[in-house]
Structure 1
Amino acid sequence: MNKPDFHTLLTHCDFDYLPDGLERKYEQYKPDDRAWLIPRDFLGGLYDRYRLPERTRRLLTEGIEAIESDPSLFAFTKFLADDMCTARIRCDEAFYTNMTPGCLKPYAEKYSFLLLLACVVPSMDSLKRRGVPESYYSEIPHQFLKVQFEKLGREDDFKVHDFPWVMNFYTCSIFLLDRFYFIPHRFHDELSMYRSRFSGKTIALYHAGGSFRRDGQLDGVNGVRDAEGAFVTEWKEDADRILANRINPMGFVEREPVSVEKSEWDAALRQGDMLLALHIPSGPGYTPDRLKSSMTLAVDFYRTYYPELRIRGFWSESWLYDPRLSLILGEAGSNIVSVQRQFYNYPIAAGDAMLRYEAFGDRNADPSAISPKTSLQKAAAAYMKSGGRFHTTSMVVLKEDIDRIGTMTYITPEDAASFRESVDSHLAGRPVQ
């Protein structure tokens, strides 16, 4: 079928926002001639499952029909849904978020949700063609469909909260395997990892040009700078060796560079490699054993159903990985600490907003202005009152090390001791550890 001109569609649709790079993708897009945006039998099943009132059903149907009755908007919406359905598996960095087409008045506010809804059936059909058993994906979209339909039934509210995150579920791109969610991730952080050919030990080296405080955190994180003690990472490489700053797996960069002999170390992770991003749903079972089980299942799942992806390991970032939590929760008896000890942790340019949100309910929360109730709130507030700050931290686990989860394969007692010595070293009168 003939494909409408891209710029003609854009002019007609009048979107307030679109991701970058769509014109190139549209050139490669092959449209279909289906006359519906969302199959009506699928829609009817949702109406019945969630017992939607007649008014809500009518509002949804009117919005869908308004899109389908506008040839230009309909054509462009099918293109957007087609791209979104495979964006996560392709690790496409295009930033999809709420989009409002001016041409859709008075239904424009419904568009983002209807676009997501249009992704569900094509995504499931794609998984079916891959041979993925339905049990892996049949309930994925309902994680957020339930919440969205409840809002619709109560308030006629079509707004989509956190579009980039929920898109993972509407496109069936994220999988719950035992305790954790997994989704492909292209690694881009400023470090490279190597494995010893003889001992199996792993080392991560930070790339040149990073500015760090004397505590090994990026200078300026949390608005804190270290004018006197900051250092800049280096990377000197020749045919035989690399001289660079080691990342201590307790989540900080060491000041003194180390030398890595190329004849003794193999590259284990580089920028551009494919990892599986791990996401942590709430609930019990946050333990090393469940971590190991989930990662094992994830490797098997992607090897079986996505053999084209060369998965090197796992990546994630969270407030839960900050080794400073071990200072307030203790070394023993804490699932948070025991899990983070299984990772190769490294610093990133994120501060404590995530911890403030998870512990105190607001990314800008002032712990001194809150009456702490939980043990975590009390300990975190006391630590911050003394001058310490927390840091969202990233981690990597290489695929070959899954079997060693539970043994602290990356972190040695010396690494932990070095952390206790360096933590908060940029603060005058730092808290005693």
Structure 2
Amino acid sequence: MIELQRVVEALDLGEHRELLRQEWQASQEVLPVGGLPFLQADVAADSCRTVSLPEEAVAPVQEAARRLDSDGPLQALVWHAHRALFAVAKRPDHSPWTRLEGQLGEAAPSFYLLVALSGLPRARALHDARGIPEEVRCDTYLDIALWAQEYHAEHGVWGIRAGLLGWFMNHLWGELYRIGRLQYMLRPFPGRLLAFRNTGTDEVVALAEDGLQFRRDGQCDGTNDVFDEEPWTSRLSVDERGARGNPISPKGHAVRTEVFLPADHWEQALARGDTVLDMHIPAAEPMAYDACGASMRAAPEFFRAYFPEMPFKAFSCTSWLLDSQLPALLPPSSNLVRFMQELYLWPRLGNGEQTFERVFSGVPADLTKAPRDTTLRRAILDHVLAGGQMRSGGMFLLTGDLDWGRQVYLTGAPALTAMA
């Protein structure tokens, strides 16, 4: 057993003493003699292959594991992290553990990767309990490899950023699953809107929640830190007669002209807090339109089969990929534009930081010299150099409206989509 004070002094973790003090004694009392099981060469290799890391990564990860296991303070710390994150009954708060990155220095990338890999037994147990198919497990774990490969491409080291630890907790605690091209979790709907369905025509109209401020362009006031001098405020009232408020166009902007939806023809279909399939789009593969449609058709069947106690109402996503400007910037035939046309877009407060991070690995120092080797890169650069800004957006797709290729929201409400 190693004393906390020694670890704090050796790794310069004084400011994190209170975090580490929690259950330190308990974790050190069960510290395995002779090395940590998940840092042994054979286990590290098996973990690498389980998440589909390339074979070239196995030896470097094994060496990183050996170094951690042979350094007393680091060994005690990685064991404590593993115990705190995965040897507990319920998913814990991971966020304090991401704050150690600066003090861990060169050891940080491999430290966080190996902590994540140490959670695989927890994931297997949770998947076994629900009978999750092996193919889905493998596809889900692959995300760890994709991010580790990206880190290696940028830094020449096999590891991950500390901030990704929280993302991988979704995978390792059995909450996120990759079904074909896309990933899903059961989560509360975050959109500040109410969606209503016409009981006769199946038309869907979303109304903004009461009291939101919008710019003249229908985007949230403050998007990209741009504020209107006179923003307008949404109004929403719902009673036994019906709902009156400001609609949100399926194209992703709020409309100042109010509409009334009488209760004898319209019923509420979605609200903030309702359970939805929170969708995510893994990188490293083309966003093929047909593959996305196949994934979204398969996902409801999967979650109804393996999570029958958690009914859901819709798909939902917030992402830089859902910038409502993109259909005007990209060719109509592009996969992304066709994908967005199947969805009901909604505006959210945000900026273009993630766009540049994911497309250019950060904001280029000189936009005029930034790479223009893809249609998306050229479209973004041309838009920004002309004075525009990129932003993130949100979407929903009610599960009953999943009819891939029909663009049900754009064709179902022509008057609404035409509103400025």
TM-score normalized with structure 1 length: 0.75
State the shift of 1:317 in Å. 1.9
Runs of 5+ in structure 2 lacking a partner? 1-7, 24-28, 50-54
Aligned to 1:408: 407
Give the Cα separation in 1 of the matches to 2:170 and 2:273. 21
Per-residue displacement from partner, 1:166-199 (whole Å, max 9, x unpaired)?
4334445432212212222221331111111111
Per-residue displacement from partner, 1:361-383 (whole Å, max 9, x unpaired)?
42476635647454433433333
State the shift of 1:316 in Å. 0.9
Amino acid at match of 2:197: R
Give the Cα separation in 2 of the matches to 1:385 and 1:155. 32
Aligned to 2:135: 135
**Structure-2 change in CA distance of 1:123 and 1:259 (3 Å):** same
Runs of 5+ in structure 1 lacking a partner? 1-9, 27-31, 423-433
State the shift of 1:347 in Å. 0.3
Selected match of 2:67 from 51, 59, 63 = 59
CA contact (8 A) 1:140 1:170 kept: no
Aligned to 2:243: 242
Aligned to 1:231: 232
Per-residue displacement from partner, 1:82-125 (whole Å, max 9, x unpaired)?
45x964xxxx8874651539999998886544432221111111
State the shift of 1:396 in Å. 0.4
Give the Cα separation in 2 of the matches to 1:385 and 1:362. 16
Where 2:388 maps in the other structure, the secondary structure is coil
State the shift of 1:81 in Å. 1.7
Give the Cα separation in 1 of the matches to 2:68 and 2:206. 51
State the shift of 1:294 in Å. 0.7
Give the Cα separation in 1 of the matches to 2:415 and 2:309. 39
Amino acid at match of 1:276: L
Aligned to 1:265: 266
Where 1:176 maps in the other structure, the secondary structure is strand
Q: Does 1:381 align with 2:381?
A: yes
User: How does 1:15-164 map onto structure 2 within 5 Å?
Assistant: 16=16, 38=38, 42-43=43-44, 45-46=46-47, 51-52=58-59, 55-62=63-70, 77-82=82-87, 87=91, 95=95, 98-100=98-100, 111-138=111-138, 140-145=140-145, 148=148, 160-163=161-164, 164=166
**Structure-2 change in CA distance of 1:42 and 1:266 (3 Å):** farther
User: How does 1:196-207 map onto structure 2 within 5 Å?
Assistant: 196-207=198-209
Where 1:140 maps in the other structure, the secondary structure is helix
**Structure-2 change in CA distance of 1:414 and 1:44 (3 Å):** same
Which piece of structure 1 moves more, 38-47 or 318-327? 38-47
**Structure-2 change in CA distance of 1:145 and 1:359 (3 Å):** closer
**Structure-2 change in CA distance of 1:112 and 1:269 (3 Å):** same
CA contact (8 A) 2:237 2:244 kept: yes
CA contact (8 A) 1:128 1:134 kept: no
Per-residue displacement from partner, 1:107-149 (whole Å, max 9, x unpaired)?
8886544432221111111111211122221353354258649
Over aligned residue pairs, what C-alpha RMSD do you find? Answer: 4.2
Give the Cα separation in 1 of the matches to 2:377 and 2:104. 47
Give the Cα separation in 2 of the matches to 1:219 and 1:126. 43
CA contact (8 A) 1:346 1:394 kept: yes
Give the Cα separation in 1 of the matches to 2:156 and 2:286. 32
Selected match of 1:167 from 159, 166, 169 = 169
**Structure-2 change in CA distance of 1:130 and 1:66 (3 Å):** farther
**Structure-2 change in CA distance of 1:86 and 1:408 (3 Å):** farther
State the shift of 1:387 in Å. 3.5
Give the Cα separation in 1 of the matches to 2:376 and 2:329. 8
Give the Cα separation in 1 of the matches to 2:303 and 2:86. 23
CA contact (8 A) 1:323 1:337 kept: no
User: How does 1:251-262 map onto structure 2 within 5 Å?
Assistant: 251-262=252-263
Give the Cα separation in 1 of the matches to 2:173 and 2:118. 9
Q: Percent identity?
A: 23
TM-score normalized with structure 2 length: 0.77
State the shift of 1:398 in Å. 0.9
Where 1:255 maps in the other structure, the secondary structure is coil
Per-residue displacement from partner, 1:55-96 (whole Å, max 9, x unpaired)?
434214336x867768xx95774242245x964xxxx88746
CA contact (8 A) 2:189 2:274 kept: yes
Amino acid at match of 2:320: W
User: How does 1:243-322 map onto structure 2 within 5 Å?
Assistant: 243-281=244-282, 282-284=284-286, 286-287=288-289, 289-322=290-323
Where 2:257 maps in the other structure, the secondary structure is strand
More helix by share: 2
User: How does 1:175-194 map onto structure 2 within 5 Å?
Assistant: 175-194=177-196
Amino acid at match of 1:410: Y
Amino acid at match of 1:202: V
Which piece of structure 1 moves more, 249-258 or 36-45? 36-45
CA contact (8 A) 1:16 1:102 kept: no
Aligned to 1:3: none
Where 2:202 maps in the other structure, the secondary structure is coil
Aligned to 2:3: none
Aligned to 2:216: 214
Give the Cα separation in 2 of the matches to 1:393 and 1:18. 38
Where 2:397 maps in the other structure, the secondary structure is strand
Aligned to 1:327: 328
Amino acid at match of 1:196: N
Give the Cα separation in 2 of the matches to 1:109 and 1:379. 33
**Structure-2 change in CA distance of 1:365 and 1:206 (3 Å):** farther
**Structure-2 change in CA distance of 1:37 and 1:67 (3 Å):** farther
Give the Cα separation in 1 of the matches to 2:382 and 2:157. 44
The total of aligned residue pairs comes to 392
Amino acid at match of 1:177: I
User: How does 1:336-415 map onto structure 2 within 5 Å?
Assistant: 336-363=336-363, 367-368=367-368, 370=370, 372-402=372-402, 404-412=403-411, 413-415=414-416
